[in-house]
Amino acid sequence: MGKITKIEQSIVDAIKQTGAFFAVKGYQGEFSRADAIKMPSAFVVYEKGEYERRNRITERISRWNIIIATTSAKRQKAKDEMYDLLEVVRNAMENFSACDSCGNFELKEEGLLEVNEMLMVFTQIYQLKERMMS
């Protein structure tokens, strides 16, 4: 299992431990329709990584999207639940380190992706710095 897969799985496990979601999945090629139907849901996606090198130390800076979705027959209920879920994920990611050489996750962005009468989808984008010796 590669390092990115291990980090992804540790994020999934941390969010699952909250007990707030019916489905929590990492992105492994594709999400199934069955996963998308179980609400509320959270999906973890590795966005990208950049490398910075200083002397003999290389630092990988990776970005992780956590997509949070919920639905309700009443829009206000979905909105209220979504705001609670955003807070749950923030708390799960706070002071959380995915590996020995990793720092803590830092929330960089949070925003609305989709909203309609019954569905609400937000994303939280986290940054993780990992020190790697050259």
H or E element at residue 110: strand 106-115
Which of the four pLDDT bands, split at 50, 70 and 90, describes residue 35?
Answer: low
For residue 129, which phi and psi values (nearest 5 degrees)? -105, 135
Measuring CA to CA, how many Å separate 1 from each of 5, 9, 51? 6, 10, 21
Alpha-carbon Rg of the chain, whole angstroms? Answer: 16
Q: Are 44 and 133 in contact (CB under 8 A)?
A: no
- What is the set of domains in the chain, with CATH numbers? 3-133 (3.30.2000.10)
CA atoms in the 13 A half-sphere facing the CB of 38: 13
pTM here is 0.87
% the chain with pLDDT above 70: 90
